[in-house]
Structure 1
Amino acid sequence: MPRGRLPKPHNDIRFYSFSSMPGLSRLDAMSDPGGPCRRIPSRGVRMQSRFVISLSLLLSAWLPGAAALAAEQGWKPEGKIEYIVPSGPGAALDMAARRLGHILEIRKLAPAVVVTNKPGGSNAIALNVLQQNAGNPHYLTTLGSTLLTGRANGTLDVTYSDFTPIAVLLDEFVTVAVRADSPIKTGRDLIEALRRDPQSLSIGVASSLGNHIHIGIARPLKLGGVDIGRLTVVPFKSSAESLNALLGGHLDVVSSSTPNVVAHIKSGRIRVLAVDAPQRLEGTLAVAPTWKEQGIDVVGLSSQGVLAPKGITPRQRDYWVEALREATRTPEWQEFLQTNQLREHFLPPDQAVAYLDRQYAEIRAVLKDLRLVGD
C-alpha cells in the first residue's frame, strides 16, 4: 500500500448533536438587510423574516466563548465540527470524545459537535476521513495510542506527523480483569498460570492485536517471566464487547482501560487483578492493586489527544489548541477524569509530538517481544 493512502471507510455509526440545525448556513444571507429580506411587503413574509433573524440570534449564542479565542487566533469554527472516533459506541475513546464535544458546545467553543464512530483498521478508517478532508479545520479525530501501535506494527502507513497534532489531553491506564467467580485472584496468580502454560487462558483486547490495550497486559506479563509471544489473545471491536464476552463466559481475562470497568466493578461482576498506574487509583478503582504493588515495575504507555487534518493553517491549529486547553480546565472535564480515573496531561503540539515520539520507541520494543514486528 503506498504511504499515505488508507482503505475506504465503512461502519459509519453517526450520532448528531442536539444543536445541529440543518439549513442554518443560509441565515446570514436571509437576514442581511441588503439581501432578499429588504423588500418584503406581506405580513406572512415579515413574520418569516423575524423568525429567521431570531434563529440567527440563537445560533450566535455560542460566539461569546469563541470570540476571545478568535480575537487572539484570527479564526473561529463555523458550522458543525465532525469529530471522528476510531472505536465503537460506548468504548473509552467514545466516552471521552462525547464529553469533550459536549464541553466545547456548552462552553461556546464550537457551535455544534457531531461525533461519528468509525472503528477498525488500527485507526485507518477514521484517519481516512481526515485524509479526505485535508485542510478542513472542522474535522477532528482522537489521537490515541492505537495510531502509534498501528504504525509500529505495520498495519498503518501513516502516523501523527502525516496530520496536524493539536494536543495530548490525558493519560489512561490499562486494567486486567477476570470474572468475580474466577479462581485467579491476583496479578501474581495470573502470571503463575501463564508461566506454566501461556496458552491456557484466553485474553480479550480491543480493538486490534499489538495496540496499547494488548501492550498494557503484555508488558507486566513479560516482566513476570511469561512467554508473551505464545499468549492466546482475541481482538474485539471495543472493550465494551470484550467485557461482555468475559461476563458471558467466552473469555478468561480482559485487558481494557479504566473507564470501561467502572460500572462492572460497581456491579460486583468482575475482579480487577491489576492496573498499570504509578500508584493506586481513587474512587471505584481504589479496589484495584497496581502492578507495582505486586512486584512488577511497570507503568502504562497510553494517552489520548486530538488530531486535525494535514494542511490546516497555523491560526486554525492555534484556535483548537487554546479551545481544548480551556475545555480541559472546566469542572465538567475534571469530573470526567475523576470518575474514570484518568490522569490530566495537557501538552500543546510541539510537546505532544516529543511525548508521542518517546511512546513510539517504547511501544516498538514491546511489539518485538510480542513477535508482531521484526528487527
Structure 2
Amino acid sequence: MRKKIMTISIFVAILLTGCTPEENQELATEEVTIVAGSIGGGWDITARAMQDSLLSENLIDGEIHVLNKVGAGGELGWKYTQQQKDPVLAVNSSLLITNHLLGQSQLTYKDFTLLAILATEWEVVVVSKDSSIDSAKTMMGNLKDAPHDYKIGVSPRLGNDDQLSFVLASKRAGVQPEKLNFQIYENSANVVDALLKKQIDVATMTLAEAKKYYDLDQVKILVISSDDRLKELPEVPTWSEEGIEIVFEHWRGIMGPPDMTEDEIRFWDQTIEKMVQTEQWQQTLEKYMWKDFYMNSSETTQFLEQQSKMYEDLMKTNEGNE
C-alpha cells in the first residue's frame, strides 16, 4: 500500500509540474505569425503593436512576423489561420460575427480558439477639408431629406463597425438607413483617396485610421462616437452633442487556430495579460487613443457570445444595405 501511495503521489507531481509557467514558456516557439489585413489598417496597427510590445519586453523568445492577408473582409486571413498548426494568431473584430450574419462567410467565432479582447476605439465620420458639410447635424439633416444623395465610403465591406455605427446614428436621426448609398473600398487609405478625389462625399472609419489624414490637414472629423469629447481632440464633438444619442465602441481581439491545447491557451493567457500591462502597450493605447479592454480567453468567449446576439439584432436594421 505504501508503494502504491508513493506511485500515485509521483504521478500527481508530474502532472502538476507539467502545468507550470516555466513549462508553458517553452510553448513560445522560435517563430510566431500574427495575421492582419492591409498595411496601415486597424488590424495591421494592432498586430504590429502586439509585435513591438511582446518583443520589447522579451515576452516571446523567438521571432514574431506580421503577415498581411488582404481581401474578403478578413476572410482570407482567417481561413489561412484556421488551417495552420504552427503558432499563428489572427487579429479580429466584429467582422468575425457580421460577415457570417450577412451570409458573406461560413466562418464564425466558434471556428477558432478565442484568446483575448485587447482594446476598443472610437468611430468617426470624416469629410474632405474643403467639403461644404460643416457638421454631423447638417449631414444627417440632408440625409433625412435625401438619403441617397451622399456617397458614403466604408472599408473593407458592409457589416463592419464603421458602417454599423453610421447606420445606427442615422436611424436615431430619423434617416432611413436602408436607403443610404454606401461605397465599398479595400482599406481606409482607398476610402480617403476617394474622398479627396470627390468620388465620395463622406467616410466612416475608426479614429486611428482617420487621425493621420486629420493631422495632415486633409480631412475634417465631423463627429466621434465617444461618450465625451477626447482631451486629445477637444474640437471634435460627440454624436450626443449633435443631437443624436449614440455611443459606439469598436473592439479588436486576437485568436488562434481551432483545437489549440489547454497549455497553449494558458500560455497565451499569461503572455497577453503581461503584454497589456507593459509600458510599450500603454504607449500604444495613448498613441492611437484606444481604450484598454483586455479580456482573457474565457472572458472573450462569453463576450463574443453576447456580441453575436447584439449584432444579430443590429443587422436587422441593416438588411436593406446588402
Q: Fold match, TM over 0.5?
A: yes
- Structure 2 distance, partners of 1:274, 1:362, is 24
- TM-superposed deviation, 1:248: 2.2
- Does the 8 A contact of 1:175 with 1:273 survive in 2? yes
Say if 2:319 is the partner of 1:368: no
- Structure 2 distance, partners of 1:255, 1:239, is 9
> 1:102 aligns to what?
52
Q: Deviations over 1:228-257 (max 9, x none)?
A: 101110111111211121122221101010
Larger Rg: 1 or 2? 1
> 2:238 aligns to what?
290
Say if 2:290 is the partner of 1:337: no
Q: Deviations over 1:89-136 (max 9, x none)?
A: 111211111111121112222211111111222322111112211xx3
Secondary structure at the counterpart of residue 82 of structure 2:
helix
> 2:87 aligns to what?
138
Q: Deviations over 1:169-198 (max 9, x none)?
A: 011211001112111111111110100111
Secondary structure at the counterpart of residue 234 of structure 2:
helix
- Structure 2 distance, partners of 1:255, 1:363, is 18
The amino acid of 1:204's aligned partner reads: G
- One of 250, 259, 269 as aligned partner of 2:218: 269
- Structure 2 distance, partners of 1:230, 1:325, is 44
- Does the 8 A contact of 1:75 with 1:316 survive in 2? no
> 1:318 aligns to what?
266
The amino acid of 2:87's aligned partner reads: H
Secondary structure at the counterpart of residue 157 of structure 1:
coil
The amino acid of 2:247's aligned partner reads: V
- Structure 2 distance, partners of 1:241, 1:337, is 25
The amino acid of 1:298's aligned partner reads: I
The amino acid of 1:195's aligned partner reads: K
The amino acid of 1:123's aligned partner reads: G
The amino acid of 2:66's aligned partner reads: V
Gap change, CA 1:368 and 1:92, over 3 Å in 2: same
> 2:40 aligns to what?
90
- Structure 1 distance, partners of 2:274, 2:86, is 18
> 2:154 aligns to what?
205
- TM-superposed deviation, 1:205: 0.5
The 5 A counterparts of 1:1-375 are 70-71=21-22, 73=24, 75-85=26-36, 87-110=37-60, 111-133=62-84, 136=85, 138-283=87-232, 285-371=233-319
Secondary structure at the counterpart of residue 293 of structure 2:
strand
- Does the 8 A contact of 2:229 with 2:237 survive in 1? yes
- The ranges of structure 1 where at least 4 consecutive aligned residues each deviate by more than 4 angstroms after the TM superposition are none
Identity of aligned residues (%): 24
> 1:32 aligns to what?
none
- Structure 2 distance, partners of 1:372, 1:106, is 47
Gap change, CA 1:230 and 1:354, over 3 Å in 2: same
> 2:10 aligns to what?
none
- Does the 8 A contact of 2:89 with 2:257 survive in 1? yes
Higher relative contact order (CA 8 A, sep 6+): 2
Q: Which runs of 5+ in 1 are unaligned?
A: 1-68
> 2:4 aligns to what?
none
Q: Deviations over 1:118-160 (max 9, x none)?
A: 1222322111112211xx3510000211111112212111211
Q: How many residues align?
A: 303
The amino acid of 1:179's aligned partner reads: S
- TM-superposed deviation, 1:372: 5.2
- Structure 1 distance, partners of 2:22, 2:145, is 63
Question: What TM-score results when the alignment is normalised by the length of structure 1?
Answer: 0.77
- Structure 2 distance, partners of 1:373, 1:195, is 16
Q: Deviations over 1:51-75 (max 9, x none)?
A: xxxxxxxxxxxxxxxxxx8416364
- Structure 2 distance, partners of 1:373, 1:224, is 17
